[in-house]
A = this chain, B = another copy of it.
Amino acid sequence: MRVELITTGSELLLGQIVNTNSAYMAAKLNNMGFDVLYQTTVGDNYDRMRDVIKNALLRSDIIITTGGLGPTQGDITKYVCAEITGHQMIKHQQSLEQMNIHFVKRNIPMTDNNMRQILVPESSYVLMNHNGIAPGIVQEYNNKYIINLPGPPREMKDMFERELRPFLQNKFGFSQVIQSQVLNTFDIGESLLETKIKDLILAQKNPTLALLVRPSGVIIRVTAKGNDFSDTEKIIEPVKQEIYRRIGEYIYAENDENMETVTGNMLKQKKLTIACAESCTGGLLTSRLTDIQGSSDYVMGSVVSYSNKVKMEQLQVPQEVLQIKGAVSEETAEFMAQGVRKNLHTDIGVGITGIAGPDGGTDDKPVGLVYIAVAGQGKTTVSRNLFSGKRHEIKYRATQKALNMIRLYLTQNMS
């Protein structure tokens, strides 16, 4: 089945937002075995949108639009599609009820234009919106399908997974599948990684290997084609094992699992608690740790100590250390980690102090210099790091390194 994705919205044509919906849907649809052959973007202009959809009907079997299902006058996508299929608009009862509950629950007055959102072409198949109001729409037309999804990525993704995917599976089944597995590495560069597995990259046709640089580290993507997922897994597995054999010590997780999940799971399994003392990361490390559901089991709390006074009063970093070694020093990081561990009565304490920039750097202590300490019973490990990038990138990289240090500390000292 040939699929065409049509994203609508003048904000895309004006370049004010980047189109992430197309990449999301393309990846998912390819995994399901569909061929996504075209992606088109058009503005909220009735005639041009109609021509684009008509043109898509000439070359594709399934047309999926995103955007233009909201309550405003600029939201025209479903009207354009209903004109093409020749259907009248009718109220969708289930969406209407859901919308009423939505407004009552939030105690917001419902304005008239909201009624536009729950209109659908008659005899269409409706995709419920579990994260918003406007439902999605599937229309069959001359043995082809015109499908409308909402534009906000949160609503679109949820509707794709929970409503559209089952519909498509039911309708078309699976022919061939493509599966990708991802190995997430940390603390190894792209070039060195490539050197170590270059022969695998060059030799393989199925699976194929790709290295991609991400803010979290370099990832290795292994992609296989097969008749079903058990087939693709058999193709991927030996290559994965060979990669683990060569550079396994750099791999901290697979697929969507991130560093905060891995580290959090280890804390949970070992029944250990943690607290952080953050200076230059400003709370980001604790925020990442608490992004994980159930993290209240092991995160007791943290102290963000931006000022020296807070470092002294809340973490008992000695004044002499701050004066002689400086706020950004190995010693301060250690005292911070030990202080927060003691005050918040946890098994593990983490201390981070550095210069996030763009100001505040000197020749001795440049922007990007960050000391990270992990303290447990008896032993404290410290690292000196020089991160590059903008302020928020330095913050993020410092937290990624800290999470990896916690992970290694737990593996080496607390097993």
Contacts and interface: CB of A to CB of B under 8 A. Distances in A.
A41 interface: yes
A39 B40 contact: yes
Contact of A109 (B72, B131, B192, B301): B192
Given A12-B26, A19-B18, A284-B283, A192 B290 contact: no
A388 to B, nearest CB: 8
Contacts of A286: 282-283, 304
A240 interface: no
Contacts of A48: 37-38
Interface stretch (A89-97, A137-145, A209-217, A400-408): A209-217
A335 to B, nearest CB: 15
Given A13-B36, A14-B180, A15-B26, A294 B192 contact: no
Interface in A4-53: 10-20, 22-30, 36-43, 45, 48, 51-52
B290 A302 contact: no
A305 B284 CA distance: 14
A288 B395 CA distance: 11
A28 B310 CA distance: 44
Contacts of A195: 111-113
Contacts of A20: 18
Interface in A149-195: 152, 154, 178, 180, 189-192, 194-195
The complex is assembled from copies of this chain, and their number is 2
In this complex, the interface size class of chain A, counting residues with CB under 8 Å from chain B, is 35 or more
Interface of A: 10-20, 22-30, 36-43, 45, 48, 51-52, 55, 59, 70-74, 105-106, 108-114, 131, 152, 154, 178, 180, 189-192, 194-195, 198, 201-202, 210-213, 221, 223, 276, 278, 281-287, 289-291, 293-296, 299-307, 309-310, 313-314, 343-345, 356-360, 386, 388-389, 391-393, 395
Given A37-B45, A38-B52, A301-B304, 16 more contacts: A12-B26, A12-B39, A18-B18, A18-B20, A38-B48, A72-B211, A111-B192, A152-B213, A281-B287, A282-B295, A290-B306, A290-B356, A293-B357, A296-B307, A302-B303, A314-B343
